[in-house]
Amino acid sequence: MPDFSIDYSALHTVQQKMRDLADAADSGGATGAFKEAGEAGSSERKAMFGSSDLSYAFNLFYSHSTSRTKQAKDGLGQLADTFSGVADTFFNADAQLASAAGLMSQSLGLDDWRGQKEAYDSWQEDKTAWDAYLERIGASDYFEQHPDAQIGEVCRADGAPSFCETWINDNDAPDDPGPPPEKPADNPPTSYHYEDEQGKVDVTVELDDDYNVMKETSTITTPDGQSYTSVTTYHSAPEIVTPADGDKFDVRDYTMETTYADGSKTTTEVVIDGDGSGTMTTTDQDGKVTVSTRSGPDEDWSEPEESDD
């Protein structure tokens, strides 16, 4: 999980403290006997002070004090909203970077699993062909009794078994596959969890029969409960294009549904053309549509522009 550059929990703590101050300012910050005297009626206050002059002077002071303090309420509330907004904005930005960091193929270990499975399946095919060949030339019993023996060494030795003549003269004999590679788990990894003092990341994927990722759900959560969830659904299996010069790229289309830290949601449709260019159309929960484009597979997406439609 990438280290976030901003302590979102601290920002939220600050904005909560400011809201507490705003709540206190709503009552002028007054408490106890001071508040009781300030909010008393004129006759009650006169009785408390025993003098109409003192009562009047205190009332003037109290009114001035509380009005100045109450003026801070809206400002404190707005500043608290600003801190909350900054925390949400930077959290969402960092979360988007984290969710796009290739977690599904790297941190899940899915690429490694596929590589191990391909290697093991290939070895099994070679082993099946080799065992069939040993059976055909009459060498199966020998190698069952000598599982660590190498046919080349066996057939070069004095007094070599009779099957060696057949093997030596057979130009089409399969190769001995050797020892098996590491056998992968029976099922591919489809989930990933990481957690530290900065929060946690959870990723789950759904695969097709060929173990291609067809759907990915990523959720990033901070210790104080902020969360960002992105669900990516691919419209097809990978469609890989290998250009004459450059790296290969995938041109399949996909849809992203995103829930941000403040609860707002967007839906993004991404269409990739055969040359790697593409269009990204995002619709927020209020129906506002923005469009970004890119000119090629290695190019950045343009700044979103509001759609004219």
Question: Is there a single domain that holds both residue 87 and residue 47?
Answer: yes
Is residue 162 in a domain? yes
Q: Can you give the pLDDT at residue 196?
A: 77
Is residue 220 in a domain? yes
Is residue 301 in a domain? yes
Q: Can you give the pLDDT at residue 11?
A: 43
Three-state SS sequence of the chain: CCCCCCCHHHHHHHHHHHHHHHHHHHCCCCCHHHHHHHCCCHHHHHHHHCCHHHHHHHHHHHHHHHHHHHHHHHHHHHHHHHHHHHHHHHHHHHHHHHHCCCCCCCCCCHHHHHHHHHHHHHHHHHHHHHHHHHHHCCCHHHHHHCCCCCHHHHHHCCCCCCHHHHHHCCCCCCCCCCCCCCCCCCCCCCEEEEEECCEEEEEEEEECCCCCEEEEEEEEECCCCCEEEEEEEECCCCCEECCCCCCCEECCCEEEEEECCCCCEEEEEEEECCCCCEEEEEEECCCCEEEEEECCCCCCCCCCEECCC
Q: Rg (Cα) of the chain, in Å, rounded?
A: 36
Is residue 104 in a domain? no
Question: Is there a single domain that holds both residue 206 and residue 140?
Answer: no
Domain boundary among 139, 161, 188: 188
Question: Is there a single domain that holds both residue 196 and residue 277?
Answer: yes
Q: Which residues have a Cβ under 8 Å from the Cβ of 27 and sit 6 or more positions away?
A: 35, 66
Q: Can you give the pLDDT at residue 300?
A: 81
Question: Is there a single domain that holds both residue 208 and residue 294?
Answer: yes
Is residue 210 in a domain? yes
Structure-block tokens of residue 49: 């002070």
Is residue 100 in a domain? no
Beta bridge partners, 294, equal: 278
Is residue 2 in a domain? no
Question: Is there a single domain that holds both residue 196 and residue 229?
Answer: yes
Count the residues in the chain: 309
Domain boundary among 188, 220, 245: 188
Question: Is there a single domain that holds both residue 84 and residue 114?
Answer: no
Domain boundary among 120, 155, 188: 188
CA-to-CA distance for 300 and 278, rounded, in angstroms?
10
Q: Can you give the pLDDT at residue 164?
A: 94
Task: Please give the residue range of the domain that contains residue 266.
Answer: 189-306
Q: Can you give the pLDDT at residue 163?
A: 95
pLDDT in tens, the chain (309 residues): 444 344 444 444 444 554 555 555 555 444 555 456 556 666 665 565 555 555 555 555 555 445 544 445 555 455 444 444 444 444 444 444 444 434 455 557 888 899 999 999 999 999 999 999 999 999 999 999 999 999 999 999 999 999 999 999 999 999 999 999 999 999 999 988 878 777 788 888 899 999 998 998 888 887 777 788 888 899 999 999 998 888 888 999 999 888 877 788 888 899 999 999 999 898 888 899 988 889 988 888 887 787 766
Question: Is there a single domain that holds both residue 174 and residue 202?
Answer: no
The number of distinct structural domains making up the chain is 3
Is residue 102 in a domain? no
Q: Can you give the pLDDT at residue 38?
A: 57
* Beta strands 240-241 and 249-250, pairing class: antiparallel
Beta bridge partners, 194, equal: 201
Question: Is there a single domain that holds both residue 67 and residue 114?
Answer: no
Q: Under a CB-based contact definition with an 8 Å cutoff, are residues 57 and 46 in contact? A: no
Question: Is there a single domain that holds both residue 162 and residue 219?
Answer: no
Question: Is there a single domain that holds both residue 41 and residue 64?
Answer: yes
